[in-house]
Structure 1
Amino acid sequence: EKSRLRRLWTISEELRAAALEGGKSSEIIDSSLERLIETAPVVGGGAKSVKEAVNNQEVYQSLVNPSSGDKGIETGIHELDELTNGLHGGELVVIGARTSTGKTAFALGIAAHYCAQGGSVLIFSLEMTRLALIHRILCAEARVNSQNFRKGFLTKEQRRPVNAALTEIMKWKLYIDEQSSHDIGELLSISRRESAQHQIDLIIVDYLQLVHARNKQDNRVAEITAVTQGLKKLARDQDIPVIALSQLSRAVERRGGGDKRPQLSDLRESGSIEQDADVVVFIYREEVYKPGRPDLSGKAELIVSKQRNGPTGVIKAAFLKDYARFANLEGFRAE
């Protein structure tokens, strides 16, 4: 105990000196937080025998009776939830797609579905403003045409579901950080702070390639590696799923044979993303490449190309373009 107190004194003195010297406050805070966490007594950590690890009734029952185990956070797309059993704590989930295919819409759909159930979600929106995201969520939930909403062309009947949806959304535990530039250190510091204040259950980063390493690097692949490793560490330390949206390389467009379905090798600066991700889901909408085919309208594929703890597969889904919303295909047909 005395040794720990001496270490705390040292950290406080070094923190004071660093603050007086100047520099980025976020880096000083993050470095100090890491050292404080290392200094804290280990509670439930350290190496354990198998007997110690399962010496808990809840853990034991989840192993001998898997059906009683906790299901992860549901996305709202039933077949995807069946395949993945939800999004689990400690997982880095990468959602990849070409520009304007629906990455943000899909992530917002997951956030909305979970918040409506009482969950707490933190979104880092590095490309869109907080208000723009709220507009998109509102249109998707109220099911009103997003273009008409932006232009103010809503009838009296259409305004009713908008007002009802806004009333519900304002009750959600949804937190949006709209800073357009973050390094991974700043993102981790904000995540820890918000998690402590609001008990965050899910973090979404939109999008991965806009996050920078703490120290600027000439090699972009090395920089992305630092970012993905930081996000993976965040997921494990907080024991929550972290969703990172990712751009794809232009190799998809150049691929011959007419099949533009994304592959793991299409992830931009892909080496570390593919390695660090626990789950990789690609969004593919054939109508984007074949706009003259009305039979493809509203159809989407969610391609689970990697799942560290489960199978891969392709899920058919609906994309409601007017509302920028993904939905279950059977529900779409029913409409």
Structure 2
Amino acid sequence: MSRARHSDRPDRQRSVRSFLDDTDEALRLGARPGATVWPTGFDLLDTTFTGGLRSGELVLVAGTEGAGKTTFAMQMMRNAVVTGRHAVVFSFELTAASLIQRLLGLEAAAAADLVDDPIFPPADVRAFRAVLEAEDPDRRGLGSAMRGLSFGQEALMAVERWSDRLHIVEGNRMTTIAQIAATVAAVADETGEPPLVLVDYLQKIPVDGIEGTADETTRVTFVVETLKEIAMELECPVVAITAADREGLGAGHRMRTRDLRGSSALAYEADIVLILQTKENIVAREHLTYDLGAIKTYRRWVVISVEKNRFGGGQIELEVEKDFEHGRYRPQVRVVGERLIEERVFTS
């Protein structure tokens, strides 16, 4: 089955001279001649990527169960729209309502961060869920309901400021790779700029014509190659959450790109591969031997391993602190100071 083009932009044969002329003209007009950059909002991660994610890039986010892959990716989407950009989320795992509850919790915590010693802690995701799922016999509306939550009004106002720029699609068996491409193109046409795209998650995208007739490797290869085409043709970054092979993740094993489930094309096609793992599971034993209390501390942190970065440095280990009660990671990122476990190869 051949892949169709997903935009009206034709293939273009260009000389280097025409490219230089176009670049010169763009600079003289004050325009950006190179790739467009979407900051992730995580400071050291953006430094690693020399500014953020770029148009045309395919970014894979993988990780062990419970590491917060969706939380991390959604926070990047939120950070993009806060700066005035547009984003589209294709969620095959969570409903739009669930994602919005997380975003409200995130914004409540962000508002509280700006206050010195707040009297009450910000409402968490469970509190927002309870309000949004409760009946309102007095029919007071959303704004009134939020006033009963600590930093609830601030959270709602923050979400309302960028709500027109974030689009959420609840994925199902009709949300094929072709439909994803069409939706991204429609948002780009409507807004006048390509959006940042999130797919959660890659292995769940149905494929017309080969679904049920091919193994997972064939289907994943088709999907990942087409997502890369979408990124290049529509000039946007595509972030895709991807599953790991459970059989390759035994005790004491540190997840690597080779553990991604379904196809070697994942490693070849991706421009960036990020792997998230809870720190307690991958810190070297020497850091735990004499301080058993360290386990509790490490449990709060997730290590982000930059396994691949096609246009920059790879094999970088960063860490962020969990705040899953508020649907986020704390925005400060730091370099991992401890030694992490590594697989050892023994030869006879």
Q: Which TM-score band (shorter chain)?
A: 0.7 to 0.9
1:178 aligned residue = 170
CA distance in 2, matches of 1:95, 1:59: 37
User: Residues 51-62 of structure 1: matches in 2 within 5 Å?
Assistant: 51-57=17-23
- Unpaired runs of at least 5, structure 1: 1-29, 62-67
CA distance in 2, matches of 1:266, 1:125: 23
1:204 aligned residue = 198
Aligned residue identity for 1:82: T
2:118 aligned residue = none
User: Residues 1-335 of structure 1: matches in 2 within 5 Å?
Assistant: 34=5, 37=8, 46-57=12-23, 72-85=37-50, 86-143=52-109, 144-151=123-130, 159-172=149-162, 173-181=165-173, 182-198=175-191, 199-215=193-209, 216=211, 217-255=213-251, 258=252, 260-287=253-280, 293-312=295-314, 313-329=316-332
CA distance in 2, matches of 1:202, 1:117: 12
1:23 aligned residue = none
CA distance in 2, matches of 1:229, 1:57: 29
SS at match of 1:100: coil
CA distance in 2, matches of 1:201, 1:156: 30
Q: How far did residue 159 of structure 1 move?
A: 1.8
SS at match of 2:261: coil
Residue 211 and residue 59 in structure 1: after superposition, are their counterparts in 2 closer, same or farther (change >3 A)?
A: farther
1:18 aligned residue = none
More helix by percentage? 1
Residue 98 and residue 242 in structure 1: after superposition, are their counterparts in 2 closer, same or farther (change >3 A)?
A: same
Report sequence identity in percent. Answer: 24
CA distance in 1, matches of 2:268, 2:327: 30
Q: How far did residue 94 of structure 1 move?
A: 0.5
CA distance in 1, matches of 2:55, 2:25: 15
SS at match of 2:214: coil
Residue 69 and residue 318 in structure 1: after superposition, are their counterparts in 2 closer, same or farther (change >3 A)?
A: farther
Aligned residues: 287
Q: How far did residue 226 of structure 1 move?
A: 0.7
> Can you list the C-alpha shifts for 1:21-75, whole angstroms capped at 9, x where unaligned?
xxxxxxxxx96xx49837xxx5xx62222222122355897xxxxxx97672111
Contact 2:91/2:201 (<8 A) preserved: yes
Q: How far did residue 253 of structure 1 move?
A: 3.1
Mean CA deviation greater in 313-322 or 288-297:
288-297
Residue 169 and residue 149 in structure 1: after superposition, are their counterparts in 2 closer, same or farther (change >3 A)?
A: closer
Report runs of 4+ in structure 1 exceeding 6 Å deviation: 68-71, 155-158, 288-292
Q: CA RMSD in A?
A: 3.1
Q: Normalized against structure 1, the TM-score is what?
A: 0.76
Residue 228 and residue 59 in structure 1: after superposition, are their counterparts in 2 closer, same or farther (change >3 A)?
A: farther
